[in-house]
């Protein structure tokens, strides 16, 4: 997918998608959106953890302004970026955004769609859309308040200012900061921790996290009932009791999503 601006590295239990359009600081254009849809289609069929990151010390500088300038109201109603970011958010297994440098506009909204965000101190998050005569319409107005609270989301979205990695950590927008050279390794370490757990329990945990408030606690009880009757629950608990947790390894073989 290199000609789409998205490089994809596939591993047994994870996929790394690298935004790579150096001439535009990894701006998200239609070709990259199409490539992200392809990645999502594969991960919907064969669930794995997804790591999103950017090449060249930049996550994504935003949506491609040259394309945005030519889009019409009909294009806005199609939700070009909204649709793919929602698909990323709904993937069965966790999504990790590893952010270095700029994550602005649509790039920030892509990061907001992840389940876990980590960054470098030099990361810069912001939604400058109002300065361009538009709004942040691909998730920022509802996802960002869920992550950092209404007041802080309003600050970012209404002023269009940027915050750095330290502020993003203090606000809870990211969960950890790492030096640039260690960022991808830290993302892989998170993926390793996820892989060590039971896949289906992870899938159901994510579903519960994304479920509508009105469905709680009934949805957790149904998911727990399903897991209580699974062979893997008994195997893992037996291994824990016999070995006090030593050597408990994930049982691979895919996920029933």
Banded pLDDT at 2 (limits 50, 70, 90) = low
Q: What is the pLDDT of residues 5-21, one digit of tens each?
A: 999 999 999 999 999 99
Query: What residue segments make up the domains of the chain, in order of their start?
Result: 2-194, 198-243
Structure confidence at residue 254 as a pLDDT band (50, 70, 90):
very low
Burial 133-156, CB ≥16 within 10 A → b, else e: eeebebbbeebbeebbeeebbeeb
Predicted confidence band at 239 (pLDDT cuts at 50, 70, 90)?
very high
Banded pLDDT at 246 (limits 50, 70, 90): low
The helix (run of H) or strand (run of E) holding residue 186 is: helix 183-195
Question: If pLDDT is split at 50, 70 and 90, which confidence band does 4 have?
Answer: confident
Quick one: pLDDT band at residue 94, thresholds 50, 70, 90?
very high
Fold that domain 2-194 belongs to in CATH:
2-enoyl-CoA Hydratase; Chain A, domain 1 (3.90.226)
CA 140 to chain centre: 13
Q: What is the per-residue pLDDT across 29-85, written as a single tens digit (0 to 9) for each?
A: 999 999 999 999 999 999 999 999 999 999 999 988 999 899 999 999 999 999 999
Contact partners, residue 162, CB within 8 Å, separation at least 6: 104, 124, 125, 126, 128
pLDDT given for residue 63 in this prediction: 87
pTM greater than the 0.85 cutoff:
yes
Give the pLDDT of residue 253.
43
Please provide the DSSP assignment of 94-123 as one string: -EEEEE-SEEETHHHHHHHTSSEEEE-TT-
What is the distance between the alpha carbons of residues 135 and 109, in angstroms, rounded to a whole number? 12
Higher pLDDT, 63 or 219: 219
Rounded Cα distance between 202 and 256, Å, is: 11
Active site residues: 109, 129
Tell me if 20 sits within 8 A of 6, measured CB to CB. yes
- Categorize the per-residue pLDDT at 210 as very low, low, confident or very high, splitting at 50, 70 and 90: very high
The per-residue pLDDT for range 119-175, each reduced to its tens digit, is 999 999 999 999 999 999 999 999 999 999 999 999 999 999 999 999 999 999 999
Q: What is the pLDDT of residue 115?
A: 98
- Among all chains, which residue has been given the structure tokens 């996802």? 143
Give the three-state DSSP class for 60.
strand
- Which band of pLDDT confidence, cut at 50, 70 and 90, is reported for residue 244? confident
Distance (Å, whole) CA 231 – CA 118: 34
At residue 52, the pLDDT reads: 98
């Amino acid at each position: 997918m290199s000609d789409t601006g998205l490089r994809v590295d596939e591993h047994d239990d994870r996929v790394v998608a690298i935004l790579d359009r150096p001439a535009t600081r990894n701006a998200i254009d239609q070709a990259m959106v199409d490539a992200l849809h392809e990645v999502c289609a594969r991960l919907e069929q064969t669930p794995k953890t997804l790591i999103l990151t950017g090449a060249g010390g930049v996550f994504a500088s935003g949506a491609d302004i040259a394309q945005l300038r030519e889009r019409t109201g009909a294009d806005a109603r199609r939700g070009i970026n909204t649709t793919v970011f929602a698909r990323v958010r709904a993937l069965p297994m966790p999504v990790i955004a590893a952010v270095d440098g700029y994550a602005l506009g649509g790039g920030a909204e892509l990061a907001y769609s992840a389940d876990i965000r980590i960054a470098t101190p030099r990361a810069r998050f912001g939604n400058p859309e109002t300065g361009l005569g538009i709004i942040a319409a691909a998730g920022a107005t509802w996802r960002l308040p869920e992550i950092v609270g209404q007041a802080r989301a309003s600050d970012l979205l209404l002023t269009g200012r940027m915050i750095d990695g330290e502020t993003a950590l203090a606000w809870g927008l990211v969960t950890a900061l790492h030096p640039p050279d260690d960022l991808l390794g830290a993302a892989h370490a998170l993926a390793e921790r996820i892989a060590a757990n039971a896949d289906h329990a992870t899938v159901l945990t994510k579903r519960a996290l994304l479920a509508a408030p009105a469905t709680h606690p009934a949805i957790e009880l149904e998911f727990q009932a399903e897991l209580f009757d699974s062979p893997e629950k008994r195997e893992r608990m037996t291994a824990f009791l016999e070995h006090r947790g030593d050597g408990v390894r994930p049982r691979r073989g895919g996920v029933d999503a």
